[in-house]
Structure 1
């Protein structure tokens, strides 16, 4: 899919992501003068996040003023709140890496129509890597078609993940997941930017990925890029409902199933009431973790479930 053949909405998303990337690259040259605020312990926002987000929103709304916006730093306070089209934006995924000069961070821009992601862009400004996808048209990196890896055995698989870092996260529970996964695979990596991690699954660098505590803007774009690259993505029980569930697992078709079998006992699927409360919270800037079901006691072993049925939705078909 050449640049000329891209969907018009995808072209706008690419323009927005590259504009934000230019802001981020300029700021990376002078990190010493960066103004950093703390949203919550270990959760940072910089003036660069805010400037990049503003640039993205202006670019998108200039082209599509009737569309809605869901953005990490400003919630739903821009755009048309009740539009069928909603842009889901993370202006700088991997802020902590950026602050420290660790070059693993990205811009993530997705467009959902009636809750289903249709366009996706993830831009890595340090490498000038542009990942993008339109539903039904495949996934690409810098104009080259990408596919998930062909690995089929867990013992050969390299898995990406993210550690819990916010106060209130159940770290001991995560360590049990990490222990189970790491004992069955070739290696586990945690670079620190989930949107880019998901693209690395799509490009075949990882064979799978899992994380808890993520928000829609962390996973919206990367999830479409994975499915368009022939991979599968879902929540820990293998269901396609993951965008607002704060848990995600992705992988090649043959690695995804075993990962789900490991992670399913740790699933905490959120009820509709909690999802509604989450949506209400997004009306204001998103600076608090989403509500959760009552957590299991710290370090408590999960209840074992029966065999898990892997559901393959329309979103998860091989491209």
Structure 2
């Protein structure tokens, strides 16, 4: 991964952020996907198309996996694959005009190389990778706070909590406090910054791809609650946590 690529991606993210903020002043076109809470807007599609165009111009003939399916489907993950979530937390974007992110990841032969999570309304860019380190804006993150489950805040998916999927409700009851952000990017960011010590949610690849790269670069654990390997072609119940919280949670997980 070249520094030129890193700078390209940062520039695109800031351009996309300006576009999103501009569009917030106009009525959104909102479509329902799988449920009333699972929505897509004209801005999601426009931003993904923007990234696809930029990638194809600067890095032609590379594979692109995007949430809104603007580019050709990705059949395998050989070579370089770009993973895009143009607006992570679309329901928050629609209802709150806040608490949403732009997310992008770069994989090579199935291995995560670069991850970017940009919380638009806070102008916070979490970025980096295993070979360059992890940064929040321009400040390098070198350590992650170590805490047990009982000593910190965990973030969980609402549906998993209500249904007690994998024991999520039981796990939450053992934590000091619980949050439900409704945005995977923000949840990953909070864990990486040490503000929360775990996150459990059922996620699509574009929801966790950037966060996984960044978290693992700092020694955090990211894996599927069902014991299967995380697959960039499928939805998975994802856990991200530090070692102590991870051990506490794994002892409480049930299927």
So what's the TM-score if we normalise by structure 1?
Answer: 0.73
> Partner of 1:259: helix, strand, or coil?
helix
Does residue 29 in structure 1 map to residue 25 in structure 2? yes
**Contact 1:68–1:83 (Cα < 8 Å) also in 2:** no
> Partner of 1:206: helix, strand, or coil?
coil
Which structure has more strand as a fraction of its residues?
A: 2
Q: Which residue of 2 aligns with 1:143?
A: 138
Does residue 87 in structure 1 map to residue 110 in structure 2? no
Q: Which whole-Å CA distance do the structure 2 matches of 1:238 and 1:89 have between them?
A: 25
Q: Which whole-Å CA distance do the structure 1 matches of 2:106 and 2:7 have between them?
A: 12
Q: Which residue of 2 aligns with 1:226?
A: 215
Q: How many residues align?
A: 253
Task: Please give the per-residue CA displacement for 1:204-260, whole angstroms capped at 9, x wherever unaligned.
Answer: 111111112x11000000111111223111111566535435111011121112112
Q: Which whole-Å CA distance do the structure 2 matches of 1:103 and 1:258 have between them?
A: 32
Q: Which whole-Å CA distance do the structure 2 matches of 1:256 and 1:262 have between them?
A: 10
Q: Which whole-Å CA distance do the structure 1 matches of 2:151 and 2:227 have between them?
A: 21
Task: Please give the per-residue CA displacement for 1:185-217, whole angstroms capped at 9, x wherever unaligned.
Answer: 1111111110221121111111111112x1100
- Of 18-27 and 218-227, more deviation after overlay is shown by 18-27
So what's the TM-score if we normalise by structure 2?
Answer: 0.90
**Contact 2:225–2:237 (Cα < 8 Å) also in 1:** yes
Q: Which whole-Å CA distance do the structure 2 matches of 1:158 and 1:178 have between them?
A: 14
Does residue 252 in structure 1 map to residue 246 in structure 2? no
Q: Which whole-Å CA distance do the structure 2 matches of 1:149 and 1:170 have between them?
A: 26
- Of 12-21 and 110-119, more deviation after overlay is shown by 12-21
Does residue 117 in structure 1 map to residue 112 in structure 2? yes
**Contact 1:97–1:105 (Cα < 8 Å) also in 2:** yes
Larger radius of gyration between Structure 1 and Structure 2: 1
Cα–Cα, structure 1 residues 199 and 56, in superposed 2: closer, same or farther, change >3 Å? same
**Contact 1:67–1:83 (Cα < 8 Å) also in 2:** no
Cα–Cα, structure 1 residues 75 and 256, in superposed 2: closer, same or farther, change >3 Å? farther
Does residue 184 in structure 1 map to residue 180 in structure 2? no
Task: Choose which of 27, 32, 37 in structure 2 pairs with 1:38.
Answer: 32
Q: Which residue of 2 aligns with 1:199?
A: 189
Cα–Cα, structure 1 residues 14 and 29, in superposed 2: closer, same or farther, change >3 Å? same
> Partner of 2:147: helix, strand, or coil?
coil
> Partner of 1:262: helix, strand, or coil?
coil
Does residue 162 in structure 1 map to residue 157 in structure 2? yes
Consecutive unaligned residues in structure 1, runs of 5 or more: 267-319
Q: Which whole-Å CA distance do the structure 2 matches of 1:149 and 1:96 have between them?
A: 30
Cα–Cα, structure 1 residues 152 and 40, in superposed 2: closer, same or farther, change >3 Å? closer
